[in-house]
A and B are shown apart, each in its own frame.
Chain A
């Protein structure tokens, strides 16, 4: 069994002829929480979609648990995805099912377990995220943070070895933020899974991750443990960690000379 669950070597990806990611090297050890950070549009979500197999790399290799994602057909990909959970940005719960049915969904689709056992498993997963009492509610009756936790319960239903999080902290109040951060850490440790978190929430994620990759404009510009990142003097990382408006990522979108746009003589 290789030590690293995810191994990415020299990966590049392009939409048509527009390059999105270039020369990415990334590893994630078993039982680790790693974060992929960067500003909006830097390609971090694309990287997550590549790991999830929704996209295929243009070049380079992407191995998960020793399996090369580039060479998988749909059946192979689906087999691998049964060992993966993914938490979408807004939960992506099935709106026509109750909380219970949502968590039971992967169990019903992929196992032949008897109904009593499914019931027990669903209640165990819901208890782990603190929402056993909400099992009969519909997704529309949940708050944003609760929906995210139900989605988390659903993504761990099949006991995956890898969980992917797409912006798990987006749009949460401070309490839900802390709850979600703690949950990600605790589930990773108790279930022995590997977690990959794509986020731009620096403060919350630096508290609980083991390793951070900074992506900017399609390349990894910095990497390190949270302590190293906090101490980093790279301008981009500094701007990001301290939330400065202007810096290597400029406040202004490239534009012609201001006076010209206002019709003034230069």
Chain B
């Protein structure tokens, strides 16, 4: 009987802790937005974050994009060939990338490359009392450290997703047209005809912005909230990657359901 009560008590404590943490995270996110104005006044910090989150993620994004596009073309060609519609390969590759794979895979890569770095950096700044020192110098760490990183990363995300898609389409072209020999004219012209700017590209950009906000907010909060120990920071980094990956996939389903139903 007491064991049962203990179990129920444990569940209750976890739920309460979880809800509490959600509340703290929401408050932290709102504070980040509130101090964004001060963040933008330190524009050089945003530029620096665009460099470390965006530019330094380029290699993994570009290479992955290229290979995802190449594989898509190989697999797509196999299937399309059975129906005698190889020329639609361009449409298949570009729509898959622009609507889904570009934003989603780029965001997953971004979470593991840039998100984990943000968490580790802020977690260590806390552990070494740099955040406390800033507060003692009457400088608000949310305005000085958190907000610039937030905006730098959020600005980078759609560009990375766009580059991922562009590289993917180029990879698809390499395999489909150059290697397999699909007709180049129909590859590009069908793609042009089928991809709609508002329906496909804009929706893809919206997705990538939403993912960027989610990943960055999670990474910043996990770092800020990490226990100031080696173990605490390493756990927070892992949680950033896991939580933001799940958030990306969940949000992607919701956004897709709203954007593309019955089109």
Contact = CB atoms under 8 A, between A and B. Distances in A.
A90 B138 CA distance: 19
Contact of B133 (A79, A82, A92): A92
Contacts of B132: 54, 88, 92
Interface in A73-89: 77-79, 81-82, 84-86, 88-89
A54 B133 CA distance: 11
A94 B130 contact: yes
Nearest to B133: A92
B243 to A, nearest CB: 26
Contacts of A94: 130, 133
Interface string B79-109: 0000000000000000000000000000000
Nearest to B128: A92
A109 B129 contact: no
Contacts of A93: 130
Contacts of A81: 135-138
B137 A95 contact: no
Dominant SS among interface residues on chain A = mixed
Contacts of A110: 137-139
A192 interface: no
Dominant SS among interface residues on chain B = helix
Given A86-B133, A88-B133, A92-B133, A109 B139 contact: yes
Given A88-B133, A92-B133, A82 B138 contact: yes
Contacts of B138: 77-79, 81-82, 109-110
Contacts of B136: 52, 54, 81, 84-86
A106 interface: yes
A95 B124 CA distance: 10
B130 A109 contact: no
B231 to A, nearest CB: 19
B130 A92 contact: yes
A209 to B, nearest CB: 22
B85 to A, nearest CB: 54
Contacts of A106: 137, 139
Contacts of B130: 92-95
Interface footprint category on A: 20 to 34
Contacts of B124: 95
Contacts of A105: 137, 139
A92 B129 contact: yes
Which of B130, B132, B136, B139 has the most CB atoms of chain A within a 10 A radius of its CB?
A: B136
A95 B123 CA distance: 13
Contacts of B133: 86, 88, 92, 94, 151
A109 B140 CA distance: 10
Contacts of A54: 132, 135-136
A198 B125 CA distance: 23
Nearest to A78: B138
A78 B128 CA distance: 21
A95 B135 contact: no
Nearest to B139: A109
A86 B139 CA distance: 13
A231 to B, nearest CB: 36
B139 A88 contact: no
Contacts of A88: 129, 132-133
Given A95-B124, A95-B125, 18 more contacts: A54-B135, A54-B136, A77-B138, A78-B140, A86-B136, A88-B129, A89-B129, A90-B129, A92-B129, A92-B133, A93-B130, A94-B130, A94-B133, A95-B128, A106-B139, A109-B138, A109-B139, A110-B139
The 5 closest A-B CB pairs, nearest first, are A92-B129, A92-B133, A78-B138, A81-B138, A86-B136
14 contacts: A54-B132, A54-B135, A77-B138, A78-B140, A84-B136, A86-B137, A88-B129, A88-B133, A92-B132, A94-B130, A95-B124, A105-B137, A109-B138, A109-B144
Interface of A: 52, 54, 77-79, 81-82, 84-86, 88-90, 92-95, 105-106, 109-110, 151, 154
